[in-house]
Structure 1
Amino acid sequence: MHKTRTHRQDGFKAHLAIEPETGLFTAVTLRPGSGPAHHEAAVAADLLTGEQAPVQLFADTAYDTGDARHRLHQAGHRLVIKPAPLRPAIPGGFTLDDFAIDTTAGTVTCPAQHTVALSPPSGQHHQRKAFFGDRCACCPLRERCTTAKAGRILTIRPHHDLMAAARRQAVTDAAWRADYRRWRPPVERGVAWIVARGNRRLRYIGAIKNDAWLHTRAAALNLRTLISLGLTRTNGTWVISPSSA
């Protein structure tokens, strides 16, 4: 698994769903640390299966994939997922968002106002491509766009419009940014609780035993949180005092 772009290690990933206002864990699962089936974006929908209605969903860039956004959006959730930054082909140069991409009309216009057609979807991932070819040869913006002899080639993935809209929202929507800044710290605190006191290092061999350990730890932390919120047993029923909550 990748911890950073240069650091790899063996291990597992703990995936957590946390209600940020109380800090309660609503779902947890432990998966192997590598493989597309265990990626954060692939696990996100599983963590929400217990929800009875759409929720406001906060997540970091690990969950920012087109497929994940599409599934969660179709389920009616309001997404506050931090978009992953685009990497320009040339440092400081143009990114995908500097091109006018019309997936309905099937055209792409570059910053120099050259327009080309998008190819039909192809390959395992149904990607479309825009080939600028000779248009780049004498373009005055070439140095900010590409070093490829064959000219700039853009790859447009499925759900491009959804991803582009999310990037625009993160930049232009002040309420979106305020919500993300407000609720991220409680979630980070919940993650810190899970791994506190040496619990980043697992005790068992295999995903099944470690997943059982993770559920037990999350349940114990939830109980501690509920007690701090005023959980008491009255007339045979567990209740939380309104004044404490």
Structure 2
Amino acid sequence: MRSRYRRRRGSGRHITISRWETHLATARNRQRDPAWKTDYQATRPKVERKIAHLMRRRHGGRRARMRGLLRVAADFTLLAAATNLARLATLGLTHQPRGWALT
């Protein structure tokens, strides 16, 4: 009975390695650097906070107000642009003779 379930030689498991594996390994090595971790921790919470603000009920990011992928994408792009402009106004964006600048 056991001989019925034996595998043939060479019919073991196969591992598929992505073509991006070298890039992923390089990124993982870079992430071990303490300087990278410090910079990441300083930046990441701000980004996550802004995404959370978009998703709040007040801004309507959780539910689509339109139907269709193109309309939903356009609506969310408009929402993100409005959020970015509001953030720039809060940071003090002003028009200077050479263009826009944060003051």
The interval holding the TM-score normalised by the smaller chain is: 0.5 to 0.7
The root-mean-square deviation of aligned C-alpha atoms, in Å, is 2.9
Distance 1:165 1:223, change over 3 A: closer
Per-residue Cα deviation, 1:19-66 (whole angstroms, up to 9, x for no partner): xxxxxxxxxxxxxxxxxxxxxxxxxxxxxxxxxxxxxxxxxxxxxxxx
Q: What percent of counterpart residues are identical?
A: 37
Q: CA deviation at 1:176?
A: 1.7
Is residue 58 of structure 2 the alignment partner of residue 205 of structure 1? no
Query: Residue type matched to 2:86 in 1?
Result: R
State the TM-score, normalizing by the size of structure 1: 0.32
CA distance in 2, matches of 1:239, 1:158: 42
Q: Which has the higher strand share?
A: 1
Q: Within 5 A, what are the aligned runs for 1:67-216?
A: 150=12, 153-171=14-32, 173-197=33-57, 198-216=60-78
Q: Which has the higher helix share?
A: 2
CA distance in 1, matches of 2:92, 2:102: 6
The higher relative CO (CA closer than 8 Å, separation ≥ 6) is in 1
- Structure with bigger gyration radius: 2
Distance 1:241 1:204, change over 3 A: closer
CA distance in 1, matches of 2:39, 2:74: 33
Structure 2 unmatched runs, 5+: 1-8
Aligned length: 93
Q: CA deviation at 1:210?
A: 1.2
Alignment match of 1:222 (pick from 80, 84, 102): 84
